[in-house]
Structure 1
Amino acid sequence: MKIRKAVFPVAGLGTRVLPATKAMPKEMLTIVDKPLIQHVFDEAKEAGIEHFIFVTGRNKGSIEDHFDRMYELDATLEARGKKAELEILARDQPQAGAVSFTRQQSPLGLGHAVWCARDIVGDEPFAVVLPDELVLHKPGCLAQMVEAAQQLGEKSNLIAVQEVPADQTHQYGICAVGNRHGKMFEVAGMVEKPAKGTAPSNFSITGRYILQPEIFKILGTQERGAGGEIQLTDAMIGLAKAQKFYGVEFAGERHDCGSKAGFLRANIAYAMARPDLRDGLREEMRKYVEG
C-alpha cells in the first residue's frame, strides 16, 4: 500500500495560544528555527510523501508564502555570499507542483477539513498530519506508519497511538485493543473523550492517520458531533464497520504544540536535540532552575 499524498489541516484559529495567533497562523509559530508547518512537512517528506495538500482558511496566506520562492531574499543572500542560508532555503523548497492548497470556508471541525481535500486526494489511500502535534524521533512517526502499512500489505487504515496515564484518558480519543501484531494492534473500537473510568484502554489517538478514500463518502453525509463539528473520529468509527483499523505504537517523544506549555516544552526538547545549541541552552536553563 503506497502512500503518496498527505493532508495537512491548517485552518484552525489556534485559540489555545492566543494572543500569539491573533495575526499569525499557529502553524507558523517556530520550534527553534523552523515553523511548525515545516517540521511536519519534513516528516511527511521523509516518509515518502510526494503531494502535500494544505486545507487552509482565512489569514493563512503566510503558509502559502512559506512554501513559495522569495526571489528578493534569494538574490540578497547570494549577493552577500550567504551560501549556508541559501542551501537551507533550497533544501526546504518543495518541488514545483508538489503542493496544493484548498479552503475550508466554515470552521466545521477536523473531519470537515479532511473532506475538503477529497477532490485533490482522489481515490487512493492518504495520510493526515496534524501540524500542532510533533514527534521527536528519527525515523519520524509518519515514516513508521508507512512502513507498518507496507508490512500489512492489505487495504486498511492506521492510527498513531500512544499510551497516556489512565486518569487522562477522558481528554483524548481512545482505541480499544484487539489482536496484536508486534507494535501494532487491531482496533476493536474507538471512543472520543470517554467519561472518566469508562475508557476501553489507555491508548490515545494522536495526530497521524493513514486512511482509505472511502472515508470521504462518510464525511460527506455525517452529522455534526461533539462541539457542533464534523468529527474525524466519528467517521473512522463508521468506516471501521467495513474496513480494518490498526493502532501503531510509534517510537518518539510527542509534543502538543497547540498548548502553551506543550509549545515551550517542544522548543526545549528540539533545541536539546541539536548539538549546536545543546550546551549553551543547558547553561542558560541552569540559571533559571538553580536560581
Structure 2
Amino acid sequence: MHIRKAVLPVAGHGTRVLPASKSIPKELLPVVDQPVIQYVVDEAREAGIEHFVFVTGRGKGAIEDYFDEAFELEHTLASKASKAEILKDVQRTKLPPGAASFTRQQAPLGLGHAVWCAKDIVGDEPFAVLLPDVILRAKPSALAQMVEAYDKVGGNVIAVNPVPEEQVSSYGVITPKSRDGRLIEMSGMVEKPEREDAPSLLKITGRYILQPQIFGLLEDQGKGAGGEIQLTDAMVRLMESQAFYAYEFEGEEFDCGSKTGYFEATLAHALKHPETADEARGILARYADTT
C-alpha cells in the first residue's frame, strides 16, 4: 500500500536549545531562510506524502499558522513587483486544504505516546514518522529512498546511518541480520549500548515507515528509558511478528535539536544556498584565520 500519511511529533519543549525555544517552537527555528520543519516537510512531500499529522502541544500554535495561508502578507507582497520571488517562497509553505491534521499530546509522555496520539487520523494503513528536528539532506530525499525500498520488501523500514564507535553509547543501534546493498534485514534494536556491547555502528536516524499494528502495541506499552513510552520498545515487540528492515540512506544528517547540530545545519546550508554561499565561505575563512 502506498505511504500516504506522515506523523510529525512536534510537542516537545526543545530543552536542548533553550532559551531559544522558550517562545518559538524549536521546529520553527530558521536554518538560513526557512524553518527546520520546512526541510522535513519538503523531504516527505518529495516521497509522495499526501497528509501530514502534526502531534502538537501547548505553545505550538505557530506551527499550524506557518502552514496556513497568510492573506495579509501575501497581499502586501503581491502589490510589489520586486517581491515576486519572495511571494512564491511564502506561498510554497502552504499545505493544500485537507492535507494537514493537528492533534494534541497533552502531556510529555514520550515519542511512543506522541505517535499513538495520531492513531485515529492515520487509521489502518502504513505510515511514516519523521522527527521534526532532524534534517536529512539527500537527493532523492531520505524518505523517498526508504519508500522505494519499502515498495520492494514491505514490512517496516527505519533509517540508519553510521556512527563513530566512541559515540555509539549515545544512540539506539540496530542488530543486522543480512544485507543487500543499503537495505538491511534486522533481528533487533538496542538503546544506548555500551561500546563493547554494540551489535553494530548503525544508529536509528529519525525516519520510520511503520505498519498500523504498532498502535495496538503502543496502547499498552509501559514506560521505558527516561520514564517515557518509547517507540523503540513497541517496535521491538512488533518485530516478533513482522519483518523489520533498516535502510542506510545516502545523504547527510543534521540534528537541529542540539546547539552544535543546529549550528552545523545552518553553516552547511548557508554554504550551499545560492544567495549566501560566497559570503558564508568568506565569513568562515575569516573566523578560521583567528583561531
Q: TM-score range by the shorter chain?
A: over 0.9
- The CA distance in 2 between the partners of 1:95 and 1:187, in whole Å, is 37
1:101-160 deviation per Cα after TM superposition (whole angstroms, max 9, x unaligned): 0000010000000000000000000000001111112111111101111122x3x00010
- The CA distance in 1 between the partners of 2:195 and 2:87, in whole Å, is 52
Partner of 1:132: 133
Partner of 1:259: 258
Partner of 1:29: 29
- The CA distance in 2 between the partners of 1:282 and 1:195, in whole Å, is 39
1:221 equivalent to 2:253? Answer: no
> Does the CA contact (< 8 Å) of 2:133 and 2:257 recur in 1?
yes
Q: Which residues in structure 2 correspond to 1:178-193 (within 5 Å)?
A: 178-193=177-192
Query: Aligned to 2:120, what secondary structure does the other structure show?
Result: helix
RMSD: 0.9
- The CA distance in 1 between the partners of 2:139 and 2:179, in whole Å, is 24
Q: Residue 52 of structure 2 aligns to which amino acid in structure 1?
A: F
- The CA distance in 2 between the partners of 1:92 and 1:61, in whole Å, is 16
1:38-66 deviation per Cα after TM superposition (whole angstroms, max 9, x unaligned): 11011100110000110000000100000
> Does the CA contact (< 8 Å) of 1:136 and 1:270 recur in 2?
no
Partner of 2:91: 90
Partner of 1:210: 209
TM-score by length of 1: 0.97
Unaligned runs of 5+ in 2: none
Q: Which 10-residue stretch deviates more, 270-279 or 182-191?
A: 270-279
How far 1:274 sits from its partner (Å)? 1.8
1:106 equivalent to 2:107? Answer: yes
TM-score by length of 2: 0.97
- The CA distance in 1 between the partners of 2:10 and 2:229, in whole Å, is 16
> Does the CA contact (< 8 Å) of 2:66 and 2:93 recur in 1?
no
Unaligned runs of 5+ in 1: none
Q: Which residues in structure 2 correspond to 1:228-247 (within 5 Å)?
A: 228-247=227-246
How far 1:195 sits from its partner (Å)? 2.5
How far 1:214 sits from its partner (Å)? 0.1
Equivalent residue pairs, number = 289
- The CA distance in 1 between the partners of 2:281 and 2:86, in whole Å, is 26
Partner of 1:248: 247
Identical aligned residues as a percent: 57
Q: Which residues in structure 2 correspond to 1:67-82 (within 5 Å)?
A: 67-81=67-81, 82=83
4+ long deviations beyond 3 Å: none
How far 1:91 sits from its partner (Å)? 2.1
> Does the CA contact (< 8 Å) of 1:172 and 1:205 recur in 2?
yes
1:75-116 deviation per Cα after TM superposition (whole angstroms, max 9, x unaligned): 111122221111112222111000000000010000000000
Q: Which residues in structure 2 correspond to 1:35-184 (within 5 Å)?
A: 35-81=35-81, 82-152=83-153, 154=154, 156-184=155-183
> Does the CA contact (< 8 Å) of 1:186 and 1:247 recur in 2?
yes
How far 1:275 sits from its partner (Å)? 2.7
Partner of 2:11: 11
Query: Aligned to 1:43, what secondary structure does the other structure show?
Result: helix
How far 1:70 sits from its partner (Å)? 1.0
1:271 equivalent to 2:270? Answer: yes
Partner of 1:20: 20
1:177-231 deviation per Cα after TM superposition (whole angstroms, max 9, x unaligned): 1111221111111111112321111110010000000000000001001111000
> Does the CA contact (< 8 Å) of 1:137 and 1:252 recur in 2?
yes
> Does the CA contact (< 8 Å) of 1:102 and 1:116 recur in 2?
yes
